[in-house]
Amino acid sequence: MDVTRVLFVCLGNICRSPLAEAHFVAHTEKLGTAHLFVCDSAGTSNNHSGERPDRRTLNNAASHGLEITHSARQVQRDDFYNFDLLVAMDQENLSHLERMKPADTAARLLLLRDLDETDPGADVPDPWYGDEHLFEEVFHLLHRCTLRLHEHLYQETTNT
Ligand code: 4NP
């Protein structure tokens, strides 16, 4: 079976996308599918490149027993060749990726919540200016949506 390479993308790569990546990897480890996926995350901006995730994201994830090992980086042109799927956290991230995507790549772009039965097409809210309740909400939202994404991609992998 082919490996599916998934890049999670937000603006700063210090709150939402590294958490989405950590959730997705945790799902694959729990469900025994880690050999089927390669995951990373990146930001459309380079404002936080090289930084560890936001302290509030790290603390919130740790309170749920989830470790995030990522350091921030900006999306590169090569990512559109090195990943099969780029998963945007919000509509602005998706628009940025659409503008940046080279014409000759087969990489697919997806808004994470397009697969969300609760509120399809909605943004994953940016918790940067929010309080701890928003970080908690984003944690559970990303847990649910990355599980749905995993189910979707696993079905695709096993049906081909
Ligand atoms: P993220 O959150 O895109 O989920 O990593 C943000 C992080 C930093 C900023 C905005 C959003 N910022 O304006 O610096």
Domain ranges across the chain: 4-158
Beta carbon of 61 within 6 Å of any ligand 1 atom:
no
* Residue 115 pLDDT greater than 90, yes or no: yes
Confidence band, pLDDT 50/70/90 cuts, at residue 160: low
Categorize the per-residue pLDDT at 157 as very low, low, confident or very high, splitting at 50, 70 and 90.
confident
Q: Determine the residue type at 93.
A: N
Q: Choose which residue among 19, 74, 128, 129 to substitute to test ligand 1 binding: the one with the highest number of ligand atoms within 8 A of its C-beta.
A: 128
d(CA 34, CA 14): 23
CATH number of 4-158: 3.40.50.2300
Query: Which tokens sit at 121?
Result: 């097409």
> pLDDT tens digits for 62-73?
999 999 999 999
Rounded to two decimals, the pTM is 0.97
CB of 18 sitting under 6 A from ligand 1: no
So which residues are the catalytic ones?
Answer: 10, 16, 126
User: Token match 């599918």: residue?
Assistant: 33
Share of the chain above pLDDT 90, in %: 94
Could you give the C-alpha distances from 86 to 64, 76, 105, 116, 122, in angstroms and in order? Answer: 26, 12, 12, 16, 17
Whether the predicted pLDDT of 159 surpasses 80: no
Q: Average pLDDT in the 28-34 region? A: 98
Mutate to test the pocket of ligand 1, among 8, 9, 10, 11 (most ligand atoms within 8 A of CB): 11
What does the pLDDT average to over 44-59? 98
